[in-house]
């Protein structure tokens, strides 16, 4: 589709045409365009009862609610875990239950339910424990809980093995024995699964007459938590997840949750959050508590009713996030120094003593972006040599399944995850064998995935077509994220008026077209790339097509469209 300088004129017909084409290119059937154009909960929400153990879990929690049992929510220390735990704590409070929560310390306890912690919670009076965002592979820990006489319900989304751990119920769309409808929701974050459980629980209590003399909780008000956890956990934004985020952003805009409002203010957002803010502004602050601070800070913030406490926690998380960035930069520099020795490997496995375990997941993501390969970063304990690792994958390569296989082969002490992210514990002496195992298992998948990584363009415009109206039209097909990428457009042909480096390593470009219109483009962390060097030093007398994603630049006297540059090609 070619759009000339008339694009962005505000024509409703043109806007509808662009929106329709975007949805069709993303695999939406022609007769399903309307549902996807405005994703609503009603249009995408499945019956929770389709999921194995969902009704069993709902009935067990309902029994605990009506009989006054002590309930504890056991969460993970990342954003998905914090939002999942906060969602269930908030829901149970609205049902008259003062549920407790337990978030393990990343450094002292590691990922997943600890048998010792579960037993201690039982000894302290918990009669029902619900784990969220963890537990699917915790066979030993859950066996200890069973032996201690406490019921545990697992709410998770990570890969499962054929043998399930002993639980009162295990709700996970990635169970290997799930039916097709439930398995089609395997892309949900744990907070999305927790929301489905919330629906099932309220429905069960309604059937028991629980709400005869009390109001039902407003489940839609929980979608601010669901949207934050979904985006921050890099869950694929298609189907139900798009509805979660689209509707959750509306709840966020109302600023009804005291802790969320404080988090938005601490992030210095002067407008209602958009989807990218959840991943780049709000999420990292919640994560900072679990990475380098106190693991409970996120849940405390998201469940508090005290504005002053919320403000103080949000400011503390912002300070921790700045500290995290500094630590991350040091680990990333050390990890990148090892890359030269692994350029032939399908998976980058980088390990170092003294690296902070709280930032290895972020660094793995940076290495993946830099190399285009799945990457695992491992922090080795200087005392005993045990390594804690975190991995990030590329589309088309199931890293979680490979990690589970490595564990089953005896190469890992522990490990699990999903297609795009995984965690592990490894003995230092197994590093070489583990690296070789991943190379042999994933080499073909990585090769196929990288060959297929061509830049898909949705639209081509002349510079005059790059307008705020065009940006708003494209945003109507959002929210965007993994699995539902923001549209990429090509602008050209253009000549480069100016190209230089701003900030630490960002490329800034001013480009002009034959239609007399000019625009600004920026490429983040691109100073050392071949593209940047070409546009800065070898662009004189040449014309280019520039490709990337368009955003609104509202720093000037009036909003303008700018291109977030990803690639450039000679036009002559």
In tens, the pLDDT along 272-326 reads 999 999 999 999 999 999 888 899 999 999 999 999 999 999 999 999 999 999 9
Q: What is the pLDDT of residue 6?
A: 35
* Domain range 47-319, its CATH number among 3.90.1640.30, 3.30.420.40, 1.10.3720.10, 3.40.50.1700: 3.90.1640.30
Range ranked top by mean pLDDT from 105-119, 145-159, 410-424, 553-567: 145-159
Report the alpha-carbon distance of residue 320 to residue 356 in Å, rounded: 14
The pLDDT score that the predictor gives to residue 157 is 96
- Dig out the tokens for 48 from the structure: 């929770």
Q: What's the CA gap between 216 and 95, in Å, rounded?
A: 8
List, for residues 72-121, the tens digit of each pLDDT value. 999 999 999 999 999 999 999 999 999 999 999 887 887 789 999 999 99
> pTM score, two decimals?
0.85
Residue 1: per-residue pLDDT:
26
pLDDT given for residue 13 in this prediction:
52
* Top CATH class, 337-451: alpha beta
Give the other-Cβ count within 10 Å of 102's Cβ. Answer: 22
CB neighbours of 382 closer than 8 A, spacing ≥ 6? Answer: 353, 354
Residue 185 has pLDDT above 80, yes or no: yes
Q: Do domains 47-319 and 337-451 have the same CATH topology?
A: no
pLDDT tens-digit map of 499-522: 999 998 899 999 999 888 999 999
Averaged pLDDT for residues 553-572: 87
Task: Give the lowest-confidence range in 237-246, 264-273, 333-342, 494-503.
Answer: 333-342
For the cut 90, the answer to whether the pLDDT of residue 186 exceeds it is yes
Distance CA(35)–CA(239), nearest Å, equals: 10
CA distance 65 to 118: 20
Question: For residue 218, with 0-12 CB atoms within 10 Å meaning exposed, 13-18 middle and 19 or more buried, which class applies?
Answer: exposed
User: Is residue 421 predicted with pLDDT exceeding 70?
Assistant: yes
Q: How big is the chain, counted in residues?
A: 572
The fold for domain 2-32+455-570 equals OB fold (Dihydrolipoamide Acetyltransferase, E2P) (2.40.50)
Q: Where are the domains positioned within the chain? A: 2-32+455-570, 47-319, 337-451
């Amino acid at each position: 589709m070619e759009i000339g300088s008339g694009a962005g004129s505000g024509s409703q017909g043109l806007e509808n045409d662009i929106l329709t084409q975007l949805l069709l290119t993303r695999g939406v059937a022609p007769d399903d365009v309307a549902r996807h154009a405005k994703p609503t909960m009603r249009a995408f929400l499945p019956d929770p009862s389709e999921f194995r153990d969902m009704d069993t879990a709902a009935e067990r929690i309902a029994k605990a609610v009506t009989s006054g049992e002590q309930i504890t929510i056991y969460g993970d220390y990342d954003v998905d875990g914090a939002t999942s735990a906060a969602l269930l704590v908030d829901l149970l409070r609205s049902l008259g239950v003062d549920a407790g929560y337990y978030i393990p310390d990343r450094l002292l306890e590691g990922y997943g339910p600890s048998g010792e912690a579960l037993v201690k919670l039982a000894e302290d009076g918990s009669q029902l424990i619900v784990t969220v965002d963890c537990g699917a592979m915790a066979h030993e820990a859950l066996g200890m809980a069973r032996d201690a006489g406490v019921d545990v319900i697992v709410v998770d989304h990570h890969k499962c093995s054929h043998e399930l751990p002993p639980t009162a119920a295990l709700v996970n769309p990635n169970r290997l024995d799930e039916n097709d409808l439930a398995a089609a929701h395997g892309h949900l974050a744990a907070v999305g699964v927790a929301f489905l459980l919330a629906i099932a629980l309220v429905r069960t209590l309604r059937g028991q007459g629980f709400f005869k003399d009390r109001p039902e909780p407003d489940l839609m008000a929980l979608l601010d938590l669901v949207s934050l956890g979904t985006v921050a956990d890099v869950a694929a934004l298609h189907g139900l997840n798009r509805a979660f985020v689209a509707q959750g952003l509306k709840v966020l805009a109302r600023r009804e949750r005291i802790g969320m409002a404080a988090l938005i203010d601490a992030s210095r957002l002067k407008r209602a959050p958009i989807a990218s803010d959840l991943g780049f502004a709000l999420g990292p602050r919640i994560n900072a508590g679990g990475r380098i601070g106190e693991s409970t800070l996120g849940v405390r913030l998201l469940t508090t009713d005290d504005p002053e406490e919320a403000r103080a926690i949000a400011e503390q998380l912002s300070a921790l996030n700045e500290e995290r960035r500094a630590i991350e930069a040091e680990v990333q520099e050390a990890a990148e120094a090892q890359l030269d020795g692994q350029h032939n490997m399908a998976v980058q496995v980088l390990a170092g003593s003294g690296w902070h375990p709280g930032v290895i997941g972020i660094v793995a993501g940076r290495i993946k972006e830099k190399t285009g390969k799945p990457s695992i970063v491992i922090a080795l304990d200087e005392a005993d040599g045990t390594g804690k690792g975190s991995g990030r994958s590329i589309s088309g390569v199931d890293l979680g399944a490979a990690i589970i296989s490595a564990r089953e082969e005896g190469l890992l002490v522990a490990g699990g995850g999903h297609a795009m992210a995984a965690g592990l514990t490894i003995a230092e002496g197994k590093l070489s064998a583990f690296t070789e195992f991943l190379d042999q298992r994933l080499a073909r998948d990585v090769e196929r995935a990288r060959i297929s990584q061509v830049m898909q363009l949705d639209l081509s415009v002349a510079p005059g077509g790059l307008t705020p109206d065009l940006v708003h039209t494209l945003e109507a097909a959002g929210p965007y994220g993994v699995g539902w990428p923001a549209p990429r457009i090509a602008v050209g042909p253009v000549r480069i008026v100016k190209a230089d480096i701003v900030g630490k390593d960002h490329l800034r470009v001013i480009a002009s077209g034959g239609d007399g219109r000019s625009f600004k483009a920026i490429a983040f962390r691109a100073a050392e790339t071949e593209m940047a060097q070409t546009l800065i030093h070898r662009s004189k007398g040449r014309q280019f097509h520039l490709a990337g994603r368009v955003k609104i630049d509202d720093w000037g006297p009036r909003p303008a469209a700018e291109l977030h540059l990803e690639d450039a090609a000679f036009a002559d």
